[in-house]
Structures are given as C-alpha cells and as structure tokens.
Structure 1
Amino acid sequence: MNIVITGASSGVGFEAVLDLILKNENKVIALARSEDKLQRLYEIASSLNPDCTLYPVKFDIVHDDYLSLVPFVEERFGQVDILINNAGTLINKAFDKLSQLDFAEMLQNNLLGHVKMIQHLLPLMKAGSHILNIGSMGGFQGSVKFPGLAAYSASKAALHTLTECLAYEYEDRQIKVNCLALGSAQTEMLDKAFPDYESPVMAFEMGKYIADFALTGHKFFNGKILPVAVTTP
C-alpha cells in the first residue's frame, strides 16, 4: 500500500508509522513540521525494519507549498492508496479568553489543512482508496465536553462532518472516507489538555489501531465517525 500520513513526528501518528513500516508491502510518506523528530522516526523505523520504504518529509499542511509536495508523492508512489489526516493542534483556554485568532488557528490546523491535503492528493487516488481522518471524542456529538476545549472540539466536529460529506461525494469513484474520533491516549497533546490525567491507552496502542483501520476499515465502513474510547476524555 502507498500511504501518506500527516502529523507523523509524535504521538499516535509517530506510532502508526512504526506499525505500518513493519510490512514491506507498505510504503509510507510521513509528513510533519519537525525535521528533528522526523529524523528520529526514520532512525527508529530503520532499526525495526531495515528494508522499510519510508520517506520523512518536513511539511506544514497549512502553510507549505503543495505544488512541490504533489510531484514528490507522484514520483515515488504514482498513486496514493491511503491518506491518513492525523496532523492537528490544541488550544486549552477558557471560552471567554478565546480570541477569534484562536478559533481561526484551530480551524486552520484541524480542518482546512486537511481540506487542502485531500484536494491535492485526490487526483492520485483510485477506486478502492481510503481517506482516514483522525478526529476526537471532543467533537463527537453527544460525548462529554470539557472546559477550555471549545475551539478545539468545534474544529474536530467540523472535520467529522467533512468526512460524512466527502464519503458520499466520492462514492461513485469508490473512494472511502472515514473518521476515528479518538478518546485519550498518552501523548503530548493529552498532557497539554489534561496535565494531571493518565490515560489507560498508550500511544503505541492507539497508533497500531489507526494503522490497522487505515489498511482494512474501508472494507467495512464509509462515511462513518467511529468513537475509539474506553474512557472520557
């Protein structure tokens, strides 16, 4: 499988890449903003599987030039089988302290960056491809919500709705689109949102779940927002 994943330099994205590269048939382009962390990812991946095909690429999904990224992907892959939109960021701030810029930042990083990635890679995706968006229980309708996460949760809810829309817009092309609404996993982002909370789920466990679902979930689901949580947060 030819796989592009964003937000690959830490947390569940980092762990998902390490799981995906264990199979030589998976070729991965890993995108993130931190070059140092991407280099660490490459070193660990190479130690786990010296024959793996992994291209770490420093790339900001909001601000960087897709006119250079798309030829890079096309030259190495020809076509993209799986796109995992995992990049994102979080602001934890009381609602009455949130500025319009805070909301704009959340929407840029957690929605519009993914919109740009999907729009630019769709021409490289054929029937049977899978777009997997990584959402959050914070944006899942009916879930418990938490103070300080209004902007973050609203941006994730928007990503969830985008998933449903695209699944049916691209149904005729047989491109499946799903979203995993993640609960807690022990990551840097969780530490930022809930400093005193310890998740029962480790980042590598959630990363493996994401990797497995990216490879097989579209055989069973399309347009679904699936909660992945044993606890809330």
Structure 2
Amino acid sequence: MVNKNIIITGTSRGIGHELALQFANAGHNVLAVSRKTPQTLLGNANITCLTVDLSQEDELAEVEKFLSSAWKKIDIIIHNAGSLIHKPFAQTTQEDFEKVYRVNVFGVANLTRTCLPFLPNGSHVVSISSMGGIQGSMKFAGLAAYSSSKGAVITLSELLAEEYKEQGIAFNVLALGAVNTEMLQEAFPGYEAPLSPKEMADYIFNFALTGNKYFNGKVLQVSSTTP
C-alpha cells in the first residue's frame, strides 16, 4: 500500500475524529484541521494537527505553510467540518446565515483554493454534505441556514469537477443522512440516529481512497433512513 497524504477538517470530534484515526492507523499521513485539537490525536505519529478556524480565511496561511514545507502534495481532502444552527427561520438572522456559510461553503472553497497547487492528477476531494441539501429530499424546519449551505457545497463541487477534470482532480460529495454525532445531539437532543460516527467513517474511509476511480462530479446519498 502506498501511503497517502490526507487533509481532514473538523477532526476535534465525531466523524472527522474517527476518520483521522482510521487513516493514521492504516499508515497514511493525516493533516487534521480543526478549531480545537483533541489530545487523542496528538500522540499519533502519522497525524499532524493544525488549529485553524476555517471561517477565517487568513488562518489558512498555516495550511499553505505546512504544505509548502512538509508535504508538497495532497492525495485526498475530506471537507468534513460543519456548522449547524437549529432555530425557526423567522428568528434566524443574517449573522446566523453568515456564520454557517463561512464554515460550510466559504471554508470549503477557500481551503480547496489553498490546496490546488498541491493536488496532482489522481487526487480526490470529498465534501461531506447532507441529505437536507439534496433537491427534492425531505426537509426539516429550523435548518434553513444549514441545509441551504449543504446544497450550495453540492453545486460548488459539481462545478469544480468540471473545471478541473483536465488536471485529473476528482470532486465528489457524500450527502449523509442522520449520524449520531455530538453536533446532531446538540441540535436535536434525544434523537437517536441509526449510525455511529465510526460506522459512517468506515464508509467515508473507503470512498475517499477509491471513489475517484468510479465517480467525478457526483453526489452520493448515504442514508439508510429518512432522515
């Protein structure tokens, strides 16, 4: 197995944390990017942690600095970081929308732009979206900012797949159903999702490594239930 260089965002907890451990334990090199760095990742020799707030574009200079000095190339990016606000639309302010979009859309766009010079032919960029961002899917009240941002990142990824297909960079989206993460529990206390973060990470792990052989510019719905 050839070890790959993999950037994962949102690694402080949930799916991103599980993914960082899975890739590192499989021998790959992981750059774990999150606002908070968990102690559980610091001791792993295959994981480099960067404390970066993706909603602040200037902080991405830390990522560029690391890539230029250490890796030189990236094989996989997993845009996993997410921001969710659950409140009635009438109470959702522009500031709420901007907070969510700065992470879920602008953070994806800005990090991708930062990484482009380091993405070779055969690299794979995976954005984690939501079933709530799928046109025609069941929608849930109180998630106007979140679900619309997840729809935006789907369109962004489709466009980038077309724009960079000649360079051999694949862009795909996984639209996830409910996963029993801390973020979900914070937004919907008491709701029990059918999948654990580790179970979903198992799927994303394999897709990130091999999905670009079969897909580019595609949105895969990863949900066993509604939601």
Check whether TM > 0.5. yes
What do the CA deviations read for 1:96-154 (whole angstroms, capped 9, x no partner)? 11111111111111100111000000110110000100101111111110010011000
1:176 aligns with 2:170: yes
Counting aligned pairs with the same residue, the percent is 44
Q: Which has the higher contact order (CA 8 A, sep 6+)?
A: 1
Q: Distance in 2 between matches of 1:74 and 1:81?
A: 15
Q: Distance in 2 between matches of 1:156 and 1:12?
A: 17
**Which one of 74, 77, 97 corresponds to residue 103 of structure 1?**
97
1:17 aligns with 2:20: yes
Q: How does 1:67-82 map to 2 (within 5 A)?
A: 67-82=61-76
> What RMSD in Å do the two structures reach over aligned CA positions?
1.2
1:33 aligns with 2:27: no
Q: Distance in 1 between matches of 2:16 and 2:199?
A: 11
1:58 aligns with 2:51: yes
The AA in structure 1 aligned to 2:114 is H
Q: Distance in 2 between matches of 1:42 and 1:137?
A: 32
1:147 aligns with 2:141: yes
Secondary structure of the residue aligned to 1:65 is helix
Q: Distance in 2 between matches of 1:71 and 1:196?
A: 42
1:117 aligns with 2:119: no
Q: Distance in 1 between matches of 2:183 and 2:196?
A: 13
Residue 198 (structure 1) aligns with = 192
Secondary structure of the residue aligned to 1:18 is helix
Q: Distance in 2 between matches of 1:54 and 1:198?
A: 31
Q: How does 1:130-141 map to 2 (within 5 A)?
A: 130-141=124-135
- Alpha-carbon offset, residue 56 of structure 1: 1.2
Q: Distance in 2 between matches of 1:232 and 1:74?
A: 43
- Alpha-carbon offset, residue 57 of structure 1: 1.2
CA contact (8 A) 1:92 1:192 kept: no
Q: How does 1:149-168 map to 2 (within 5 A)?
A: 149-168=143-162
Q: Distance in 2 between matches of 1:74 and 1:2?
A: 13
Structure 1: where are the runs of 5+ without partners? 47-51
Q: Distance in 1 between matches of 2:114 and 2:220?
A: 25
Residue 42 (structure 1) aligns with = 42
Structure 1: 4+ residue segments shifted above 6 A: none
Residue 215 (structure 2) aligns with = 221
The AA in structure 1 aligned to 2:55 is V
How many pairs does the alignment contain? 223
The AA in structure 2 aligned to 1:5 is I
The AA in structure 2 aligned to 1:62 is S
Q: Structure 1-normalised TM-score?
A: 0.92
Q: Structure 2-normalised TM-score?
A: 0.95
**Which one of 84, 91, 97 corresponds to residue 90 of structure 1?**
84
Secondary structure of the residue aligned to 1:76 is helix
Q: Distance in 2 between matches of 1:146 and 1:71?
A: 40
CA contact (8 A) 2:172 2:217 kept: yes
The AA in structure 2 aligned to 1:22 is N
- Alpha-carbon offset, residue 200 of structure 1: 1.4
CA contact (8 A) 2:11 2:32 kept: yes
